[in-house]
Amino acid sequence: MNRVVTITLAAALSSLAFAGTSRAESLGMNTAQGIEQTLRTFQGNDFNVEQVHNWRNLDDETTGPRSAPERSGQAIRGIQASIDANRSLARRLNHEGVDVRNIVNAEQAADGSLTFYVR
């Protein structure tokens, strides 16, 4: 009986360790470095473009819908440079009428899709 409990406990701890690792990776996907890497390698067509409404993330009738948190000027330039480095993504955005210089933020959803925020 002791052996069964030990094996069960070891299996449970192993499962938690793997779950923690995958969660930790997802937490970094929207950091400046994480989103830049994603933008350089993104090959899908699953993205949408949103207007920036309110940098303070207020959500009421006077300020409009929630928006992405504000990025620093350096982070914005990094996002734009990463898009420029991915020619196929830059072409797809251009085809949608999006000027890369107007993109001020990007976020990746858990399903892998991207949202670009433009001013």
| Band of residue 22 on the pLDDT scale cut at 50, 70, 90 | very low
Same-domain check for residues 92 and 70: yes
Same-domain check for residues 70 and 25: no
Same-domain check for residues 113 and 79: yes
Which candidate, 82, 66, 68, places its Cα nearest to that of 34? 82
The pLDDT tens digits of the residues spanning 26-41 come to 568 889 899 999 999 9
Same-domain check for residues 39 and 7: no
Does residue 57 have a pLDDT over 90? no
Q: What is the mean pLDDT of residues 46-71?
A: 68
Predicted TM-score of the model (pTM) = 0.69
Per the structure, the complete domain to which residue 24 belongs is given by: 1-29
Same-domain check for residues 36 and 81: yes
Same-domain check for residues 87 and 105: yes
Inter-residue contact 119 to 102 (CB < 8 Å): yes
Same-domain check for residues 35 and 25: no
Q: Could you give the strand order of the β-sheet that contains 47-51, starting from the edge strand earlier in sequence?
A: 47-51, 114-118, 103-108
Inter-residue contact 36 to 102 (CB < 8 Å): no
Same-domain check for residues 24 and 37: no
In total, how many domains does the chain have? 2
Same-domain check for residues 49 and 85: yes
